[in-house]
Chain A
Amino acid sequence: MPFERGHGLLRWGGAVTLLVLLAAAAAPWISPHDPRQQLDPASARHRPPGTRLAVVRLADGATLLADAVERTPTGLRVQRLGSWRSLPASQVLNLAPRGVDTWRTYPLGTDRYGRDVASRLLWGGRVSLRVALLAVALALTLGVLIGAVAGLGPAVVDAVLMRGVDALMAFPRLFLVLAVAALWRSGELAAVVVLGGTGWMEVARLTRGEVLRLRGLDFVQAARAMGAPPWRIAFVHVLPLAVVPLFAHTALRVGDTILTESALSFLGFGVTPPTPSWGNLIADGQDVLLDAWWVAALPGVAIAVTVLGFALLGDGLRAVLDPRSR
Chain B
Amino acid sequence: MKYLCLIYAEEAAFGKMSQDDASKMMGEYMAFTKDIQASGKYVGGNPLQPTSTATTVRVRNGKVSTTDGPFAETKEQLGGYYLIDAKDLNDALQVAGRIPGAKVGSIEVRPIREM
Specify whether A and B are partners. no
Chain A residues with CB under 8 Å of chain B are none
Chain B residues with CB under 8 Å of chain A are none
